[in-house]
Structure 1
Amino acid sequence: MRIGSLLAAVVLPVLLTTPALALEVSKSATVAAKPADLWAEIGDFCAIGDWHPAVAECEETRENGETVRTLTLEGGGTIRERLVEATDTGYSYEILESPLPVRNYRSTLSVSGEADGTRIDWKGSFVAHDASDADAAGIIEGIYQAGLDSIAKGAGN
């Protein structure tokens, strides 16, 4: 029995401190617009307030030398996100504070394509928090899909 106790004393703490595996969600859409033109419409970090139906307002600030946006949601609540990286065709961000059932959330929104066909990719990784993996992934997928549908509907307008 001493071996069993020793094994439990060693293995149990490792299992309890091992971080949950990150979930990944990815959605994409293709629209009839030039990539540079579409990115000019949607690519500003706070432009999400113009095209995502769940966002009532976006306020961008500088905090400790970093760009942070605060999203006021249509149904109430706020999400604070930090810009991690930006290019001419995409940006990555992290959630700082949110009512969403996720932790360690990092996401990228980007465009690619040629001439009059643009693919928009929105992907993220996170750990479910206070929700099942399936429920957390479903919520993030719904957020991405609603945003992509709105972009596709308004592209070039």
Structure 2
Amino acid sequence: MTFAAGLDQPKIVLEQKFDISAEKVWGKLGTFCSIAHWQSLVRDCLVEERSDGIYRVVVMKNDTAYTERLETFSQSDRSFSYSILSGPLPVSQYRSELKIEARGAESKLIWRAWYTVPEQGDGQKIKSDLEALFRNGINGMSDFLKS
């Protein structure tokens, strides 16, 4: 998947197996604002349908907010991707994809992110912070899927 020039290889790829079928996992995680149920740092998520697409505003518990656009959605592939249009994340051209693959009676989440670090940015710190955010989300997903 290529999102933008120079972003062919994702900068982050995290995978997680769940002891739950892909259909059940997708049923709980496959909506654009499900993030409010599993990311503990999120206070609220609002979906807006605009003339040029579907957006979500993710409000964090620290009162910052991100505006994100749904870029792709596939019920059959159990995946969606989104871009961050505004927010405090110190990167540009951010795109992310969540995909749920079937593994028999189990499933596997693949969460990937592409982004550009500004010249003054600390690429290693940004990657480390994003990976920690993703891991926090995956832990929340595990708990949410058990509920």
The TM-score with structure 2 as length reference comes to 0.87
Whether the 8 Å contact between 1:81 and 1:94 is mirrored in structure 2 is yes
Structure 1 segments of 4+ aligned residues over 3 angstroms from their partners = 20-23
Residue 155 of structure 1 aligns to a residue whose secondary structure is: helix
Whether the 8 Å contact between 2:37 and 2:144 is mirrored in structure 1 is no
Task: Please provide the CA RMSD for this pair.
Answer: 1.7
Asked if residue 133 in structure 1 is aligned to residue 133 in structure 2, the reply is no
Alpha-carbon distance in structure 2 between the residues aligned to 1:90 and 1:38:
11
Partner residue, 1:122 = 111
Q: 1:149 Cα deviation (Å)?
A: 1.2
Alpha-carbon distance in structure 2 between the residues aligned to 1:144 and 1:64:
30
Report Cα offsets for 1:25-63 as digits up to 9, x if no partner.
111111110101111101100111111111110000022
Residue 131 of structure 1 aligns to a residue whose secondary structure is: coil
Residue 88 of structure 2 aligns to a residue whose secondary structure is: coil
Q: 1:156 Cα deviation (Å)?
A: 3.6
The TM-score with structure 1 as length reference comes to 0.82
Partner residue, 1:153 = 143
Q: 1:21 Cα deviation (Å)?
A: 5.5
For structure 2, the residue ranges without an aligned partner over 5 or more in a row are none
Structure in which a larger fraction of residues adopt helix: 1
Alpha-carbon distance in structure 1 between the residues aligned to 2:74 and 2:6:
28
Residue 49 of structure 1 aligns to a residue whose secondary structure is: helix
Q: 1:24 Cα deviation (Å)?
A: 0.8
Whether the 8 Å contact between 1:109 and 1:123 is mirrored in structure 2 is yes
Report Cα offsets for 1:60-110 as digits up to 9, x if no partner.
002223000000001120001000000120101000001011100011011
Count the aligned residue pairs. Answer: 138
Partner residue, 1:24 = 11
